[in-house]
């Protein structure tokens, strides 16, 4: 990846030796090395939290990969909740995530108008919208307009696998991490801000052994911006890594579509 910039086999051997100085599993060792000996601009500003849920390596690999996909189009939308947060939109076709967008200062109807144009132009199979807060009105209006593809996702609700995850948000972040870590290459936008968001959240396990992903509120307390782009990508996994056919029919559908209550 970096041979054109002067990286050599000797450099890699030195890095391999230095990894042994860091605690944790391989991913945590790599993150510690990147913080101590940054090689890129992005690594120089890695989050200081020790145990982030998604490590840097698969994200950097996905930024450099080139993937073509004929899978159905899924769009994730994370509406802004005010303040410094931004409304974020991300597209994904199977192993290819692309064309992330952010908008600040849009009210409910302005965001509805933007998403309406996206639906008419791009004809996604599903558009998943976080329906907590502002998103509820966006979902209601788009469904009232007759768009079958629009699905409201309450990430605070019970997970589909409640024994393993605290809530749906933790489950979808886990699904996204599995997607990034799979053997087949995946591609995401070559965007350092997206990388920072994906690799910025910590995690824990509660007394019942269920996965808990660090909240946006707690992340902001330690100076991290709201992970709006990362959450919009996360929402594209609401029906798993793949979601049916590419048929486009502007009708209202049941919340029980695809066998999963959103």
Question: Where do the domains of the chain lie?
Answer: 17-46, 75-255
Continuous segment of H or E residues that includes residue 10: helix 9-19
User: With pLDDT > 70 as the criterion, what percentage of the chain qualifies?
Assistant: 85
Highest mean pLDDT range out of 49-58, 83-92, 228-237, 243-252? Answer: 228-237
Output the pTM of the full model.
0.77
| Least confident stretch, 16-25, 178-187, 198-207, 238-247 | 238-247
For range 221-238, the mean pLDDT: 91
What kind of fold does domain 75-255 have according to CATH? Nucleotidyltransferase; domain 5 (3.30.420)
List, in sequence order, every beta strand (DSSP E) within the chain.
Answer: 74-78, 87-93, 96-103, 126-130, 150-153, 203-205, 211-213
d(CA 76, CA 91): 7
Quote the pLDDT of residue 143.
96
For range 166-182, the mean pLDDT: 96
d(CA 118, CA 110): 13
List, in sequence order, every beta strand (DSSP E) within 11-95.
Answer: 74-78, 87-93
Q: Encoding tokens for residue 63? A: 């930024």
pLDDT band at 217 (very low <50, low <70, confident <90, very high): confident
Contact assessment for residue 154 and residue 132, using Cβ atoms and an 8 Å cutoff? yes
pLDDT band at 134 (very low <50, low <70, confident <90, very high): confident
Quote the pLDDT of residue 126.
96
Cα atoms in the Cβ-side hemisphere of radius 13 Å centred on 81: 12
CA distances from 235 to 20, 77, 125, 225, 232 (A): 36, 7, 14, 18, 5
């Amino acid at each position: 990846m970096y041979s054109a910039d002067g990286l050599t086999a000797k450099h890699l051997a030195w890095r391999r030796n230095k990894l042994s100085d860091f605690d944790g599993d391989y991913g945590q060792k790599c993150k510690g090395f990147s913080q101590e000996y940054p090689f890129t601009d992005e690594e120089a500003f890695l989050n200081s939290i020790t145990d982030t849920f998604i490590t840097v390596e698969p994200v950097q690999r996905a930024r450099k990969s080139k993937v073509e996909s004929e899978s159905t189009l899924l769009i994730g939308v994370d509406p802004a909740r005010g303040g410094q947060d931004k409304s974020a939109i991300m597209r994904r076709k199977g192993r290819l995530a692309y064309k992330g967008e952010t908008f600040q200062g849009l009210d409910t109807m302005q965001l509805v108008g933007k998403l309406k144009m996206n639906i008419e132009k791009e004809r996604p199979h599903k558009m998943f919208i976080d329906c907590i807060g502002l998103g509820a009105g966006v979902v209601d209006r788009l469904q009232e307009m007759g768009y079958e593809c629009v699905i409201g996702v309450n990430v605070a609700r019970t997970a589909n696998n409640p024994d393993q995850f605290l809530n749906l948000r933790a489950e979808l972040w886990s699904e996204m991490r599995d997607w990034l870590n799979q053997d087949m290459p995946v591609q995401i936008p070559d965007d350092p801000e997206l990388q920072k968001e994906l690799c910025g959240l910590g995690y824990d396990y509660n007394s019942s052994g269920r996965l808990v992903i660090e909240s946006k509120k707690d992340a902001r307390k330690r100076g991290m911006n709201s992970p709006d782009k990362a959450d919009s990508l996360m929402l594209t996994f609401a029906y798993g890594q793949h979601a049916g056919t590419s048929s486009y029919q502007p009708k209202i559908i049941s919340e029980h579509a695809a066998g999963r209550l959103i």
